[in-house]
Amino acid sequence: MVPDQKGLEAQSAEEQENLAGEAWPDGNVCSCEEHGDEKGSCHDDGGREDSCPCRDHDDSEKDHCHCHDEADDDEDHCHYHSEGHAGHFHGHHHLHGASCGCHDEELSEEEEKRARWEIVIGAVLFLGAVAVKLIRGDSYTWPYIVVLALAYLILGWRVLKEAFENLMHGEWMDENFLMSLATLAAFAIQEFPEAVGVMLFFRIGEAFEDLASERSRRRIMEAVDLRPETVTVEKSGGSETVPAGSVRPGTVFLVRPGDRVPLDGTVLEGESYLDTSAVTGEPVPVRVEPGTAVLSGGVNTSGLLRVRADKPLSESMVSRILRSVENAQESKPQIDRFITRFARIYTPCVVGLALLTAFVMPLLRGEAFLPWIYTAISFLVMSCPCALVLSVPLAFFCGIGAASSRGILFKGGASMEQLAGVTAAVMDKTGTITRGTFEVRKVLPAPGIGEEELLRLAAACEEASTHPIAQSIRRAAQEAALDVPAPEAAQEIPGKGIRARVDGREIACGNRALLALGGAGEVPEDTEPGAEVFLAEGRRYLGRLVISDEVKEGAGEAIRRLHDLGIKTVMLTGDGASGAQSVAEEVGIEDWRAHLLPDQKVDELQKIRSAGEKVLFVGDGINDAPVLAGADVGAAMGSGADAAIEAADLVCMNSDPASVPEAVVLSRRVRRTAWQNVIFALAFKAVVMILGVTGIYSNMWLAVFADTGVAVLCILNSVRLLLGTKKNA
């Protein structure tokens, strides 16, 4: 049957899938020299390409994984000159799995313990030598120098080794080289305590940064890694526990009370409530029964369930969530790229300033070289842009983790940064603002026929139809406990509706055009919002049913919050004008366009963009995939079609419209945090450098804080994003 509204001529599923596939390319190209002809083959477990994490190199190869620094600054590479890592010189493990370029070898647990003991032993020797010297009042004699030199070697051998190895690869402008040069120069001018102290606090700060970064990363990954290790599957005569990755679609598995659903599937037997808060962020348990589709990651709270696996582990929701977070840094935000380029200029400039300070300033002012060399050494220490290049990506990573815990999955930092700047939110209607489930709202019979009789005849005509509107009519008749007869004959009229013989009566059930074919008169004009199904017997008009979708709870509040954030709202729909207007007025949407085919939605979106708006599109259907791909930012509802989810930049797992303004608020908070880090780090370094170059105050301990201390503060500022989401931007 066909409701009385202009139909949607959707593009074919194959065309939509192709468009969706083009919209979301799989990752970046690995340009490692070590891969030879296999460039581009660095895949994670999910099949996506990383920006060369070099996970597959053995230990001997890791030190030599240095990729070409191409002219294209947007291309991802491995070493610190690459996009997103420039200037990141500490031994931190990258948030997305790669190492940073200075400490390329991942430290084992035993090596980490050894590194901690090095710091402890070096600190004891350093503090002991300084304390004895202060107590005895001696000058720095050879015994003191030997002890301090030993402490320096224990603390700094890793830094010196990395500096030498990087120098051999032409990477001299890294923190290891700068720190080595500064401390060795301090030894040369007999500033022994400063040399050892700088190396000590550098190692302490580095260890603290690693700890803060790794703990924040571990917290995020533990929160989203819901993948099971094993699954209990049915076998003849009982059950068997098997690895989760070995289960194929169609396999029946058991989910006992308290167990987490391991794979996406469909309930075959049993009833229960699932706690899906870890997946969708929805705190209310969801009832499931035979025929209910379930997502992996939810916890079974009561009865035993028999579930048929619909997807393998690699395609189930728990794996998709984990991949989304793991790959979050593949798409780098513009601020990260800006800091990368800035770091390439900043560090050499500060090194040049240090040389001028050491050799030109004393000549210009006619002063001794030694104090100015000391100031230059301080410049070398503070020239490392660690706080910038570490805290900015960490801010976005923490933001993505915070969003994941609320059922909002971002596909990268760039998506989050783009969302923070949107000025218009364009939304689909069905499945996004409304539930996508039709209900009979009104039964309007003509004079001489009752409501129940009209509904009974309509349900009989729609007996064999699978259309959602036909299902809603049959459901309404069932709820009214009507005795619906089977039609004696039925004929579908394409694009118009159904003609059927019911109780010997020739009934037409469909749109206005169908009734016009039969010559039915006195058909009223459209006055009700929603789809209208008309009925006639021969030339006699019998009445109509008004069927409409239900607006999602909280949709109006979500639209109001978007307006409060300064974002204008537009609704694009293929439904009729009356239904579109009714929904728009109910939820408070400012502008709406109806009767749109998928390609017309794209055209309307481009018109909005050409007016200077930065557009977020929110949709859920396969016909929304082209629009999602064409928007500045695309958001898909988690209950939507796979093509829409693949084409989107972020996914609202709970399909709640309230997730949209929440994602905007969080994105703006992340962007603000990143800029706070940048401004604070640059301002502090600038003040310390001005104090030093003007001769007002030059102190190497202050320089250490300007480097390591500021980096730690910026990291802690970024980690705050994990503590909660503010309600306003």
Q: Which sequence positions are flagged as catalytic?
A: 428
CB atoms inside a 10 Å sphere around CB 243: 11
Residue 61 Cα to chain centre, angstroms: 32
Tokens of 718: 């970024």
Q: Please, which residues have CB within 8 angstroms of residue 592's CB and are 6 or more apart in sequence?
A: 570, 571, 572, 573, 580, 581, 583, 584
Strands 230-235 and 238-243: antiparallel
Q: In 360-467, which ranges are continuous DSSP H helix?
A: 361-365, 369-382, 386-404, 413-420, 451-461
**Residue 339 contacts residue 678 (beta carbons within 8 Å):** yes
Within 13 Å and on the Cβ side, how many CA atoms surround 368?
4
Instruction: Give the CA distances from residue 308 to residues 252, 435, 676, in Å, rounded to whole numbers and listed in that order.
Output: 4, 26, 50
CA distance 589 to 426: 10
DSSP conformational letter for 105: S
Place of tokens 């992996």: 296
CA distance 141 to 362: 29
Q: Is 698 exposed, middle or buried (0-12, 13-18, 19+ CB in 10 A)?
A: buried
Place of tokens 């990143």: 674
CA distance 487 to 577: 33
Q: Taking Cα atoms as reference points, which of 90, 98, 149 lies closest to residue 115? A: 90
Task: Give the DSSP H or E segment for 160.
Answer: helix 142-168
Question: Collapsing DSSP states into helix, strand and coil, what is residue 216?
Answer: helix
Please give the single-letter amino acid code of residue 96: H
Instruction: Give the CA distances from residue 659 to residues 221, 559, 610, 662, in Å, rounded to whole numbers and listed in that order.
Output: 21, 11, 27, 5
